């Protein structure tokens, strides 16, 4: 599935965020994305939901300006991809797959703290 098709379910699936003051936030304030999400329909959809977006435009801007915000996520995904069981999704049930993601994240954190 193309990345742009998964953006709407991903944004809809974000749980409410607790805050110290005021009501819970139901949606993120900003969204940073690369050229794979450069579609007018996605921009309009985000604008209607009140989410400010920073999507790199194809043929006009380079993706390097987004690097300041993306490197944490990409580094985490890279480390999780190093786990063979997650790299090739052997589990069919989502609950088991998410359990292995949690175990892998715990192992990665443990290794990072002990070195």
Q: What is the 3-state secondary structure (H, E, C) of 82-98?
A: CCHHHHCCCCCCHHHHH
In angstroms, the CA 43 to CA 47 distance is 6
pLDDT in tens, 85-102: 766 667 778 888 888 888
How far apart CA 83 and CA 86 sit, in angstroms, is 5
Are 38 and 56 spatial neighbours (Cβ–Cβ below 8 Å)?
yes
Check pLDDT > 80 for residue 7: yes
**Per-residue pLDDT tens for 37-65?**
888 899 999 999 888 988 877 777 665 66
pLDDT at residue 47, as a whole number: 92
Choice among 13-17, 96-100, 104-108, 111-115 with the minimum mean pLDDT: 13-17
CA–CA separation, 32 and 20 (whole Å): 25
């Amino acid at each position: 599935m193309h990345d742009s098709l998964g953006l709407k379910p991903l944004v809809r699936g974000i749980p409410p965020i607790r805050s110290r003051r005021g009501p819970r936030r139901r949606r993120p304030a900003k969204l940073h994305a690369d050229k794979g999400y450069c579609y007018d329909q996605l921009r309009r959809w985000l604008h209607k939901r009140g989410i400010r977006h920073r999507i790199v435009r194809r043929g006009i801007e380079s993706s390097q300006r987004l690097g300041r915000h993306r490197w944490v996520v990409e580094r985490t995904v890279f480390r999780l991809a190093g786990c063979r069981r997650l790299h090739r999704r052997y589990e069919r049930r989502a609950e088991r797959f998410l359990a292995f993601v949690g175990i892998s994240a715990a192992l990665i954190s443990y290794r990072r703290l002990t070195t």
